[in-house]
Amino acid sequence: METAFKVNANIGNAASQIMTASMHPVELLAPAGNFEKLKTAIHFGADAVYLSGQHFSLRNFSGNFSMDELEAAVSLGRSQGVKIYVACNIYSRNHEQDALRQYLKRLGKIRPDALIVADPAIFVAARELVPDIPLHISTQTNTTNYATANFWHQLGADRIIAARELSLPEIKEITAKGRIAVEVFVHGAMCMAYSGRCLLSSFLAGRDSNRGRCAHPCRWNYAVVEEKRPGQYMPVLEDARGTYIFNARDLCMIDHIPALIESGVTALKIEGRMKGIHYVASTVKAYREAIDTYYRNPGSYVVKQDWTDLLESVNQRGYCTGFYMGDPSQTEPNLALTRKAYEHRLVGKIVSVPAPGKVVVDVRNRLESGENVEILSPFQPIQRRVIAPMVNLDGEPIEVAHAGHQVQMELRGDWQPDDVIRRRDAPSPGSRQR
């Protein structure tokens, strides 16, 4: 049977050449905490993007989307052939029931490609109020077996997002015996609590992580204080900067794309709605190229150093394969956050290309003529350039541009709006990057 597939408008013909008639392409699902991140995810090749409104999701501090922005996001996604999934995945309280129903009705008019839900009450309300919008069952519901997956299918769900505690063999069995699409995480932060159901933030900061207000206390430094010796802090286990007894490493499955795809999953999901556009651009670019490379020739998939370098360049706490490979050492806390020799800093993004080799840049950090930068653009290697003399939008020469300014410059190469410009900096004092 011939397999149909879509191609993002910004990908061009390259992606259309990588699929075979016998394979259904896995979906690359990217995070977006605001409209700029949405555009970045689409630009770098995401097949789908998940985001949320300003209420009722588990990332209340990521900016998120107003109702008008949600409508614009869905419209943009449709114009680019990219699906938009809206997270409504909190566990709701009594006083929110009427507001939730009104919110679902408004989403029904916007018609996103799916809703991500966890609370059975929200599931039931969505089935009643917006029956034509597919429902994806959040990882917060702890779906750990094919029987539970089929339970959700029988209730009318279209996809489950598998619990992160599962191994690859377990996921493979769910896709084989389940009757529902399965989505799994491929990259990003790992919560130290079971399926993200952490109470540390509630206890220590009065901010409920299951209501989208997590203060991330698992990333704080801890020591032991003996009752009769107040003020004497004894480390549990330390490095040069402190103790991180709950510090889970980040997930990275770039080495195992073939195994994930061949497990039968429908979608590979990148975590990180609160991360910046450098993170979104880098992770989507790396996984887009990896997935496309697999489909070109599944039998000869080899991880490219460019992908590894790109993922190493973003803020992270050291990488692991989580629970996928059944290796207990992969889920141990990272107690050795050694500092990098350098870190990459976003300095701007290209907002327009008025002529070949000439760009307008929205500056995000100090940018100076003559400095070396790297440019991330979809479907080509990272390009290294030297910043040419700049002019402001009034045409006046400037040597240094600061955050919030837009400048125009000559920049050799074939660029597009939303390409990302970064530079290598020495790590800041106390940096917790790996």
Q: Helices (H) and strands (E) in the chain — how many of each?
A: 10, 22
**pLDDT at res. 21:** 29
The pLDDT of residue 212 is 58
The span from the CA of 51 to the CA of 62, in Å, is 10
**What is the DSSP secondary structure assignment for residue 56, as one 8-state letter?**
S
| Per-residue exposure over 407-431, b if at least 16 CB sit within 10 Å of its own CB, e if not | bbbebeeebeebbbbbbeeeeeeee
- pLDDT bucket at 60, cuts 50 / 70 / 90: low
**Per-range mean pLDDT, top range of 11-20, 183-192, 212-221:** 183-192
- Among 109, 34, 68, 29, CA closest to 277: 34
Domains along the chain with CATH numbers: 15-190+248-331 (3.20.20.70), 194-235 (no CATH), 343-425 (2.40.30.10)
Is there a contact between 411 and 421 (Cβ–Cβ < 8 Å)? no
Residue-wise pLDDT for 115-157, tens only, equals 999 999 999 999 999 999 999 999 989 999 999 999 999 999 9
Distance CA 250, CA 271 (A): 10
Mean pLDDT, residues 395-419: 95
Whole-angstrom Cα distance, residue 256 to residue 310? 16
pLDDT higher at 326 or 416: 416
Residue range 49-69: mean pLDDT, rounded: 81
Average pLDDT over residues 416-423: 97
Rounded to whole angstroms, how far apart are CA atoms 56 and 213? 11
pLDDT digits (tens, 9 = 90+) for 315-356: 887 889 988 998 766 666 655 555 555 689 999 999 999 999
Phi, psi at 359, each rounded to 5° = -135, 155
Residue type, 220: W
Q: What is the pLDDT of residue 232?
A: 75
Per-residue confidence (pLDDT) for residue 432, from 0 to 100: 47
CA distance 82 to 64: 18
Q: What is the pLDDT of residue 57?
A: 72
Cα angle 278-6-72, degrees, rounded to a multiple of 5: 55
Collapsing DSSP to helix, strand or coil, 81 comes out as coil
pLDDT at 425: 83
Q: DSSP strand E in 209-357: where?
A: 223-225, 233-235, 250-252, 267-270, 319-320, 343-355
**Mean pLDDT of the 297-326 span:** 91
CA distance 21 to 410: 44
Q: Kindly state the average pLDDT of the residues 220-225.
A: 68
Q: Which helix (H) or strand (E) holds 86?
A: strand 83-88
* Distance (Å, whole) CA 372 – CA 367: 10
| Residue 12 banded pLDDT, cuts 50, 70, 90 | very low
* C-alpha to C-alpha distances, 263 to 15, 143, 168, 197, 331, nearest whole angstrom: 22, 17, 7, 26, 21
- pLDDT at position 399: 95
Instruction: Round to whole Å and give the CA distance between 379 and 416.
Output: 12
For the entire predicted model, the pTM comes to 0.84
Those residues with Cβ within 8 angstroms of residue 418's Cβ, 6 or more apart along the chain or in another chain: 39, 40, 43, 349, 350, 351
Going by pLDDT thresholds of 50, 70 and 90, the confidence category of residue 97 is very high
**pLDDT reported for residue 55:** 82
What single-letter amino acid sits at 277? I
Beta bridge partners, 360, equal 352, 408
Distance CA 346, CA 426 (A): 13
DSSP E strands, 279-430: 319-320, 343-355, 358-363, 367-368, 372-376, 383-386, 390-392, 397-398, 400-401, 406-410, 420-425
Task: Tell me what the pLDDT averaged over the chain comes to.
Answer: 85
Per residue in 169-180, pLDDT (tens digit) is 999 999 999 999
> Is residue 120 within 8 Å of 91, Cβ to Cβ?
no
How far are the Cα atoms of 2, 64, 266, 378 from residue 133, in angstroms, in the given order?
A: 26, 20, 18, 31
Distance in angstroms (rounded) separating the CA atoms of residues 401 and 364: 9
Residue 220: is its pLDDT beyond 80?
no
More confident residue, 90 or 147: 147
Mean pLDDT to the nearest integer, 27-41: 97
Confidence bin at 197 (pLDDT 50/70/90) = low
CA distances from 66 to 7, 42, 43 (A): 28, 19, 22
Cα of 325 vs its chain's centroid, Å: 22
Asked whether the predicted pLDDT for residue 278 surpasses 80, the reply is: yes
What pLDDT does 19 receive?
38
**pLDDT of res. 364:** 96
